[in-house]
């Protein structure tokens, strides 16, 4: 698939958003910024995302609360969330992140290559799921057409051996 997917970057600090964009730009996907949990939730109302990179410590709604709200919504609960935080000394933070629905928890400063590779995996997975959904739709259409044709054959009384 060559379609660009959206990646949601959530951080209240401009310099962190710039750094994430620089690291992920080589993936050639659409990078969408949100500067708060509330802004992220609004973005999720209108668009689909392959993955969310979510800062833990933000004023107002923190990353844990944002993640819980994302996972409560039927439309967004399947989006993978990768937490990013500078608070790596407390193992409770990682536990809280996973409990809130994160698929990964990365401490800052992080290795740009590792982050890019992890995000790339979720972009590939998103694209493969889209491809499977499209194939399933085609199969459903073909199955419906075959059923219609079989019904027409039954209505016209053709013997079973002539229908195959």
User: What are the domain boundaries of the chain?
Assistant: 6-128, 134-163
Q: Which of 133, 111, 109, 129 is nearest to 121 (CA)?
A: 129
CA dihedral 113, 114, 117, 121 (to 10 degrees): -170
**0.85 cut: is pTM over it?**
no
Place 52 in a pLDDT band, splitting at 50, 70 and 90.
very high
Strands (E), the chain: 6-10, 30-34, 51-55, 81-85, 104-107
Span 126-145, mean pLDDT? 88
Place 58 in a pLDDT band, splitting at 50, 70 and 90.
very high
What pLDDT shows up at residue 1? 45
Tell which CATH architecture fits domain 6-128: 3-Layer(aba) Sandwich (3.40)
Is the separation of the CB atoms in 55 and 85 below 8 Å? yes
Mean pLDDT is lowest, of 17-21, 104-108, 154-158, for 154-158
Q: What are the distances in angstroms from CA 156 to CA 117, 151, 159, 161, 163? A: 59, 9, 9, 14, 11
Local structure of residue 88 (DSSP, 8 states): -
């Amino acid at each position: 698939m060559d379609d660009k997917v959206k990646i949601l970057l959530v951080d209240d600090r401009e310099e962190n958003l710039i750094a994430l964009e620089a690291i992920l730009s080589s993936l050639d996907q659409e990078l969408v910024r949100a500067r708060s949990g509330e802004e992220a939730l609004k973005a999720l109302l209108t668009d689909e995302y392959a993955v969310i990179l979510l800062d833990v410590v933000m004023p107002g709604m923190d990353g844990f609360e944002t993640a819980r709200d994302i996972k409560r919504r039927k439309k967004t609960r399947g989006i993978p969330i990768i937490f990013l935080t500078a608070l790596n000394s407390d193992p409770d933070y990682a536990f809280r992140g996973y409990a809130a629905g994160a698929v990964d928890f990365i401490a800052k400063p992080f290795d740009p290559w590792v982050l890019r590779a992890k995000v790339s995996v979720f972009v590939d997975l998103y694209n493969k799921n889209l491809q499977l959904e499209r194939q399933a739709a085609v199969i459903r259409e073909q199955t419906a057409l075959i059923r219609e044709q079989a019904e027409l054959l039954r209505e016209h009384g053709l013997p079973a051996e002539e229908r195959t």
